[in-house]
Chain A
Amino acid sequence: MAAVSDVNQFVATQDGGNPFTGPPQGDNPFAKITDNVVRVMAAPRPPRAWYIAFGISLSLLTMFFGSIGWVAWTGIGAWGNMMPVSWAFPIVNFVFWIGIGHAGTLISAILFLLRQNWRTSINRFAEAMTIFAVVCAAIFPGVHIGRPWLPYYMFPIPNQMGMWPQFRSPLEWDVFAVSTYATTSILFWYMGMIPDFATFRDRSKSVAKRISYGILAMGWRGSSRQWHRYERAYLILSALATPLVLSVHSVVSFDFATAQLPGWHATIFPPYFVAGAIFGGFAMVVVLAVPARQFFGLKRIITIDHLELMNKIMIATGLLVGYAYGMEFFIAWYGGNRTEGFTFVNRAFGPYAWAYWTMITCNVLSPQLFWFRKLRRNPWVTLAIGMVINVGMWFERFVIICTSLARDFLPSSWGYYIPTPVDFMTLGGSFGLFFTLFLLFCRYLPMVAMSEVKAFHPSVLAHAHGGGSHGDHH
């Protein structure tokens, strides 16, 4: 599998206006890898597509802060949330974004422990994506409480009321799970970038860049004695992040599973949510990776083979998610609970049937196209299906939250949730925040883990495994 990141493989590109499409400079494979990544940072300006994307993202970001500011000013009546559907968009968006944020750590930690070396070309991307998605996610519960200046009540801070948070509540577990996950992801991401910051520092021309990257690199010079502790720390972080990533979406699913509402009260939720998170997260990785490799000339590092592997994971997790959808119906029928049975029939054929079947089409049917090798290896098809899956995963959370709440135990309190324009502006705006951060990352931070790609370069691996043990002969 390691052979896929062959930098010597030359991929011809058509668009001549892009400064990053030419072959990377260097007289050896390591120098070529460095140049391929560093030239994005070193270039005086990014490609025009970057400016267009950044402009759109920035306007969406403005809309995001505008709509949140409006809600903070007028109160959450600006949203369509209304009893019985009191969670609605804010929590749908929260679960959607936190789900996206799972692929990064999965790729960096779990695939690392499983020795899937192909991860090296995409892990930095995925980690960055994770952090930006968690940033988007964390905003929603903070706004949803209605008084966005009071979220510190959720933390155990000694106060004049002598009160403490309620630690037996899944909502409180959420606070700890998400903040631990955010901290771990940021530290993991930062630690992975330290050697690459050093490379950026040593290749920077301007003093400002040398100082900035120098501070970030903390004086890393590639000492082997330091590498030893660094690698050990990386392994430990992976081992810690692996159960953590599985715990985060499990805890998020407890918000629902511990409630007694039909459609939420299900033990299948933790694994079902984790599978969905990985599915949606991988879809978002390809959505980001396909344009990024196109515009920044990273096709030699993020190859079609990598995209194909990710698409295969999407088939697998898509089938898992489809199985969970089916199993929910089976449990509702087999459990013999009439209310539960009604909830699921209502989900598929009730007033929200349009949302349910959108979800099934996007999440279960669309990834089946990846069974065809031709489609699997086409980056634009991958991009399109990745987007469709993201739509589907958003609808999955919408279906779970809104259909269950809209039909609770008392028929007299039934309702139908209709979002307001502010709801849509907040959702659309969160993509602005996400893409603004991601585009800044592409421009200023090492997009690919250079040291890891070099360490798994075919020539190094061939020598390490085939050439015998160099450290042994005395």
Chain B
Amino acid sequence: MSHAHETQKKPTGPAPLHGLLAEYESPWELVDAATKVRDAGFSRWDTYTPFPVHGIDKAMGIRMTILPWLVLGAGLTGLASAILLQWWTNAYDYPLLISGKPFWSIPANVPIMFELTVLFSVLTTLGGMLVLNGLPLPSHPLDLKERFARATDDRFFLLIEASDPKFDAKDTRALLDSTKPAVLDEVLEDRATPSEFPKALVYGMVILTAAAAVPFALAAKARFSKSRSPRVHLIQDMDSQPKYKAQRENPFFADMRAQREQVDGTVAVGELRDDDHLFRGKIGPEYARTFPPQIPLDEATVARGQQRFGIYCTPCHGFAGEGNGMVAQRAELLASTGAGKGMAWVPPSNINQAYLRQQPVGQLFDSITNGVRNMPAYGAQISTEDRWAIVMYLRALQTKSAAGH
């Protein structure tokens, strides 16, 4: 009957029977009735109660739900996701070194594994319960029965659907009568409620969904295309600050420049450096041929010079100053073979060359301070005293080399 109803476009005449509804005043009466209906072999029937009635599962022969297994699966998925997420992000994609600890260690990653296991399980528990229960269910033929509203209040109902293969208008009514219900009633199919979703609602949802996708589409477009305009930056943080930067124009000052020059003759504390011999290696216009008096001519200074030389000079000049340090060797190799073949390479000097032996110590000091040819300036890295110490060590090396030859 109900099957015929479904195929009909515009139903006419009285609505077909949906089922028989019995109402009971107490849960235990319902349990007794449910037992009888179960034993009669019905399959399309249900009971409706305001609270879960103790023993009704057995009375109706309800089998255990598969929900726990779904939750177990979800929990394991959550666990695996947490392991993968933490390993991939912190140990593989962007290895993050924290206090020298291993990139991937189980104990530090347990809390998030636990949390995601629970999160996935919880979402599945509620979602699975609703889906297995066929919820949300907007309308049902029982909604037309005014008395059925008490199913969520204080009454207990039993419904046998007419579509049940065992249903028989007379016998089923007799069976329910024998359970002594407070009220026994017929439930008709619902013809008042349209079976389809309202068109306007469907279109509205489609439009909203499409509109919701627009920001994501724009973000994706921005990610994979180039633009000459500055990025969209909603929160400006401190991007624009009311201040002038160096080299900018500033109409406030007569010279229209944002930065201020120091007053002529200004010297910072300790930066006077008026001793040309010590700081520039010069006596008058000539390079000094003697060490400045502030530098003690003793073994300690040479030892200091050797130690500094080892740090700053040996990479290129080598331990004996012969211009054969690791950098030089590697450069020679690359210049003679492989990708760097034919490249110009200015090798570091051998400090034992005659012209260098004859250079005044002031000039050697100047070369270290300001650099020469390819050699960068070391004035900013090595202190004045240490530069003199290195020069002293250089002289020692040169002397030793000359004696050896």
- A residues whose Cβ falls under 8 Å from a Cβ of B: 26, 28, 30-31, 34, 147, 149, 156, 160, 162-170, 172-173, 176-177, 180, 183-184, 187-188, 190-191, 195, 198-199, 201-203, 215, 218-233, 236-237, 240-241, 243-244, 247, 251, 254, 450-452, 454-455, 460, 463-464, 467, 469-474
| A167 and B112 form a contact (CB under 8 A) | yes
Complex: A191 Cα to B150 Cα, angstroms? 21
- Whether the Cβ atoms of B52 and A230 lie closer than 8 Å is yes
B202 within 8 A of A: no
The answer to whether A165 touches B89 (Cβ under 8 A) is: yes
Stretch of B91-99, B165-173, B302-310 at the chain-chain interface: B91-99
Question: Complex Cα distance A232/B67, Å?
Answer: 8
Given contacts A218-B130, A229-B133, A472-B58, contact A168 B98 (CB under 8 A): yes
B90 contacts partner chain A, Cβ-Cβ < 8 Å: yes
Interface centre among A149, A167, A244 (most CB of B within 10 A): A167
Given contacts A166-B96, A191-B126, A474-B39, contact A26 B154 (CB under 8 A): yes
Q: Does B46 lie within 8 Å of A223, measured CB to CB?
A: yes
Contact string, B144-188, partner A, CB cutoff 8 A, digits 1/0? 000011111110000000000000000000000000000000000
In this complex, what residue of A is CB-closest to B78? Answer: A180
Q: Are B115 and A30 in contact (CB under 8 A)?
A: no
A-B contact pairs, 8 of them (CB 8 A): A28-B25, A156-B85, A164-B96, A167-B89, A168-B98, A225-B133, A229-B132, A471-B35
Known: A199-B50, A247-B111. A221 touches B133 (CB 8 A): no
Assembled-state Cα–Cα distance A176/B137 (Å): 33
Give A221 to B187 CA distance when docked, in angstroms: 15
A235, chain B: closest CB distance, angstroms: 9
Q: State A203–B153 Cα separation when bound (angstroms).
A: 9
Q: Does B138 contact A (CB under 8 A)?
A: yes
Q: How far is the CA of A170 from the CA of B39 in the complex (A)?
A: 58
Residues of A within 8 A of B125 (CB): 187, 233, 236-237, 240
Nearest A residue to B234, CB-CB: A149
Whether a CB of chain A sits under 8 angstroms from the CB of B405 is no
B151's nearest neighbour on chain A, judged by CB, is A222
Tell me whether B32 is interfacial, beta carbon within 8 Å.
Answer: yes
Residues A30 and B114 in contact, CB atoms below 8 Å apart? no
Name the A residues within 8 Å of B94 (CB-CB): 162-164
* Main SS class of interface, B: helix
- The CA-CA distance from A244 to B105 in the complex, in Å, is 22
Contact of B129 among A191, A202, A203, A451 (CB under 8 A): A191
Instruction: Determine which residue in A147, A229, A230 has the highest number of CB atoms from chain B within 10 A of its CB, and name it.
Output: A229
Residues of chain B within 8 A of A167, CB atoms compared: 85-86, 89-90, 108-109, 112
A176 with B115: CB separation less than 8 A:
yes
B26, B123, B142, B154: the one within 8 Å of A183 (CB)? B123
SS class, residues of chain A in contact with chain B = helix
Residue of B with least CB distance to A218: B136
Assembled-state Cα–Cα distance A173/B56 (Å): 43
Asked whether, in the complex, the Cβ of A164 is within 8 Å of the Cβ of B90, the reply is yes
Docked Cα-Cα span, A66 to B36, in Å, equals 65
B→A interface (CB under 8 Å): 25-28, 31-32, 34-35, 39, 46-60, 62, 64-65, 67-68, 71, 85-86, 89-90, 93-94, 96, 98, 101, 105, 108-109, 111-112, 114-116, 118-119, 121-123, 125-126, 128-130, 132-133, 135-140, 142, 148-154, 223, 234-235, 237
| B136 in complex: contacting residue of A34, A219, A450, A452, CB < 8 Å | A219
- For the complex, give the distance between the alpha carbons of A345 and B122 in Å: 45
Residues of B within 8 A of A26 (CB): 154
Q: Please, which residues of chain B bring their CB within 8 A of the CB of A241?
A: 122
Beta-carbon contact of A218 and B111 below 8 Å: no
Given contacts A199-B153, A229-B67, contact A451 B51 (CB under 8 A): yes
**Docked pose: A227 CA to B237 CA in angstroms:** 53
A161 to B322, CA, bound (A): 47
Chain A residues contacting B48 (CB-CB under 8 Å) are 221-224
Q: How far is the CB of A316 from chain B (nearest CB, A)?
A: 27
Minimum distance in angstroms from A232 CB to a CB of chain B: 5
Residue of A nearest to B108 (CB): A168
Taking CB atoms, residues of chain B closer than 8 Å to A218 are: 130, 135-137
What residues on A are CB-neighbors of B27 within 8 Å? 460, 463
Given the known interface contacts A221-B152, A225-B62, the answer about A166 and B133 at a Cβ–Cβ threshold of 8 Å is no
Determine whether the beta carbon of A180 is less than 8 Å from that of B115.
yes
- What are the residues of chain B within 8 A of A463 when measuring CB–CB? 26-28
Cα distance, A243 to B115, chains bound together (Å): 10
Residue of B nearest to A197 (CB): B152
What is the CB-to-nearest-CB distance from A267 to chain B, in angstroms, rounded to a whole number? Answer: 14
Is the pair A219, B140 in contact by a Cβ cutoff of 8 Å? yes
Which of the residues B109, B130, B140 comes within 8 Å of A221, measured between beta carbons? B140
| 4 closest cross-chain pairs (CB), A and B | A219-B137, A471-B58, A30-B154, A164-B89
